[in-house]
A and B are shown apart, each in its own frame.
Chain A
């Protein structure tokens, strides 16, 4: 275990941390992943930590998040909790194949890798790097590696494990694969894990990630997901963020899409003190289709920041972004969406929409919908609205005898539902509707079974 304090730059702190623990990091991972570390630490030194005010992190204070005094651990920890006993995820009454990450490490219940019905292989990434090196090698750090973000390089240097999901060409899972990502500890802790999801040509994957914190300590996660959709593959990726308000979470997701693939990602942020989600999409083959959606419901002092970058690198692709937020109390939020249409990516259709409701004058929202276009035969548009509930709709509801309070809920719920309705698995969609309804009504004011009463 190592902790960092003092006034030296964060970059130097983490470089030194790496130098001091590189043997232990490597020993508890896989050679294939270790091969990337030296290069990554050099990249981190070159790129540095994103500072507030930098164009892509304009409103996010990453630095103070990383300045927290948190434990880092690079070997298996003894966890004095019986996770199965205290944790029941809100989502899994829908039937899923469940995998657990505890403090960023694969939670071993005997099997490191499982073959699921339909031919999907899922389990520990480090194990997969040993058992299926040719598959992992083909994708590992191929999409995240070119990022200019020092935090991604840092993850590559430190990440030891995570979840690996592989659908061979043509494979189709019967049930969604669910990853429950738990932070639990007796002190504040930081974790950096790495997931790799691969759908071969014509394969279908449905993945649900749930983030939870189960003890009342400060947590920080810096995770990277690399997602590959082969030709005609279909991937649905849903993330439900439900950590307590003492935790900070930074996620980076790199989606690489080949010809005629379809990928839909939904990030539903319910709880969490500081959240930054980076979503990068590269439409690498023609006729690829991407839907990137998000919903953020925040109150108290939460800060939720979504950054989406869609790279139309091939002609004839379609992308649609829809991000919506409701901000109460003194919460603040930020949305940045960039559509890049590269030269010759003709016949691109790209849309983007960001809508925000501010419920108080202490809440703040920053919205930056951006278009960067280098091809002329394209249809691109974006829209952003920030404001209140529609007065006319409110009056209409009230004139039918519905109380103001209830009318507001109905409209807020309708507002949020426009994101949720895009989730294709019905049971999951209904479950999330329910969670969102409860969240909006304040019934879900703290997370499941959490000891932390973030009041």
Chain B
């Protein structure tokens, strides 16, 4: 589904991703871990099409097509979803209008009719219940004045609404209480199917108790330095990143 080959990315002349290789197949769940500043969010943002970054080399295929030449909205319509580490507040744009515009634009791309007002509201209600997000939030402007945890829940709500094929969740688990964490996991697990894939970026083993990854990758200073199964996450939690560092040196 997603194939990244030797991806190198700079910002203001400074190289941040220094040759990333990754393959994600349909049905898989990958976890990316790594110390602060190692480039996890950069990778996620580049995949979603943020223009701030300069791609100096490499190739990314999404469902067999060149991802990097597409606009952010084309990628979203193709089924890629990014859960933002820091969701953006957009005063004046209501959640309802925002979601309706997004869903219908994705549906249009798939050749489907726009949802009628009642269908849309029904779907809203359904997904709202799934992620236990209150109507008082969905009646407001996008993320405006939401608490940190509410913003993260809102990302999962949007994911549930848009039903992407590949979801990349950038630290959607940080800042969440235990109940919310379970809800996020439920959202992810709900989406899980042999046709979909998920990449979760996280610092905590605790999320991985709820969402069991098929693969864990460690991003260190712009490179994947280690990959393994779910036991790698445990090992990291125990030994910290210093351990990787030492290994690298040896």
Chain A contacts to B: CB under 8 angstroms: 390-393, 395-404, 406-407, 410-411, 413-415, 417-418
Q: How far apart are B69's CB and chain A's nearest CB, in angstroms? A: 15
**Contact, CB under 8 Å: B105 / A398:** no
**Contact, CB under 8 Å: A401 / B77:** yes
Closest-by-CB residue of B relative to A407 is: B73
Q: How many angstroms between the C-alpha atoms of A221 and B105 in the bound complex? A: 45
Known contacts: A398-B76, A399-B82, A410-B101. The answer to whether A404 contacts B71 by CB under 8 A is: yes
Q: How many angstroms between the C-alpha atoms of A234 and B24 in the bound complex? A: 64
Q: How far apart are B150's CB and chain A's nearest CB, in angstroms? A: 16
| B72 within 8 Å of A (CB atoms) | yes
Residues of A within 8 Å of B52, CB to CB, are 391
Q: Which bucket holds chain B's interface residue count? A: 20 to 34
Q: Which of A395, A398, A400 has the most CB of B within 10 A?
A: A400
List residues of B (130-179) whose CB comes within 8 Å of A's CBs: 141-142, 158, 162
Residues of A within 8 Å of B92, CB to CB, are 411, 413-415, 417-418
Q: Which of B52, B102, B141 has the most CB of A within 10 A?
A: B102
Q: How far apart are A406's CB and chain B's nearest CB, in angstroms? A: 6
| B48 within 8 Å of A (CB atoms) | yes
| B84 within 8 Å of A (CB atoms) | yes
| B50 within 8 Å of A (CB atoms) | yes
Residues of B within 8 Å of A398, CB to CB, are 49, 71-73, 76
**Contact, CB under 8 Å: B102 / A401:** yes
Q: How many angstroms between the C-alpha atoms of A400 and B73 in the bound complex? A: 7
**Contact, CB under 8 Å: A401 / B90:** no
Residues of A within 8 Å of B245, CB to CB, are none
**Contact, CB under 8 Å: A399 / B49:** yes
Known contacts: A395-B50, A410-B98. The answer to whether A402 contacts B90 by CB under 8 A is: no
Q: How far apart are A423's CB and chain B's nearest CB, in angstroms? A: 15
Chain B contacts to A: CB under 8 angstroms: 48-52, 71-73, 75-77, 81-82, 84, 87-93, 97-98, 101-103, 105-106, 109, 141-142, 158, 162
Known contacts: A392-B88, A393-B90, A398-B71. The answer to whether A403 contacts B105 by CB under 8 A is: yes
Closest-by-CB residue of B relative to A410 is: B93
Q: Which of A390, A402, A413 has the most CB of B within 10 A?
A: A402
Residues of A within 8 Å of B162, CB to CB, are 400-401
Known contacts: A395-B72, A407-B73. The answer to whether A402 contacts B91 by CB under 8 A is: no
- A interface: dominant SS: helix
Q: How many angstroms between the C-alpha atoms of A383 and B92 in the bound complex? A: 19
**Contact, CB under 8 Å: B98 / A397:** yes
**Contact, CB under 8 Å: A396 / B88:** yes
Q: How many angstroms between the C-alpha atoms of A395 and B48 in the bound complex? A: 9
Q: How many angstroms between the C-alpha atoms of A326 and B71 in the bound complex? A: 25
Q: How many angstroms between the C-alpha atoms of A380 and B71 in the bound complex? A: 44
Q: How far apart are A390's CB and chain B's nearest CB, in angstroms? A: 8
Q: How many angstroms between the C-alpha atoms of A402 and B162 in the bound complex? A: 12
Residues of A within 8 Å of B75, CB to CB, are 399
**Contact, CB under 8 Å: A401 / B97:** no
Closest-by-CB residue of A relative to B143 is: A396
**Contact, CB under 8 Å: B93 / A402:** no
Residues of B within 8 Å of A404, CB to CB, are 71, 73
**Contact, CB under 8 Å: B71 / A402:** no
Q: How far apart are A365's CB and chain B's nearest CB, in angstroms? A: 20
**Contact, CB under 8 Å: B73 / A403:** yes
Q: Which of B71, B89, B90, B106 has the most CB of A within 10 A?
A: B90
Counting from the closest, the 3 A-B pairs by CB-CB distance are A414-B92, A401-B76, A398-B72
Residues of B within 8 Å of A418, CB to CB, are 91-92
Q: How far apart are B16's CB and chain A's nearest CB, in angstroms? A: 18
Q: Which of B73, B84, B89 has the most CB of A within 10 A?
A: B73
Q: How many angstroms between the C-alpha atoms of A407 and B73 in the bound complex? A: 10
Name 17 interchain pairs, CB-CB below 8 A, sorted by A: A391-B52, A393-B88, A395-B72, A396-B87, A398-B71, A398-B76, A399-B72, A399-B81, A401-B76, A401-B77, A401-B102, A401-B109, A402-B102, A411-B93, A414-B141, A415-B92, A418-B92
Residues of A within 8 Å of B97, CB to CB, are 410
Q: How far apart are B244's CB and chain A's nearest CB, in angstroms? A: 31
Closest-by-CB residue of B relative to A393 is: B90
Q: How far apart are B186's CB and chain A's nearest CB, in angstroms? A: 21
Residues of A within 8 Å of B84, CB to CB, are 396, 399
Q: How far apart are B65's CB and chain A's nearest CB, in angstroms? A: 16
Residues of B within 8 Å of A390, CB to CB, are 88, 90
Q: How many angstroms between the C-alpha atoms of A179 and B87 in the bound complex? A: 45
Closest-by-CB residue of B relative to A406 is: B101
Q: How many angstroms between the C-alpha atoms of A416 and B11 in the bound complex? A: 34
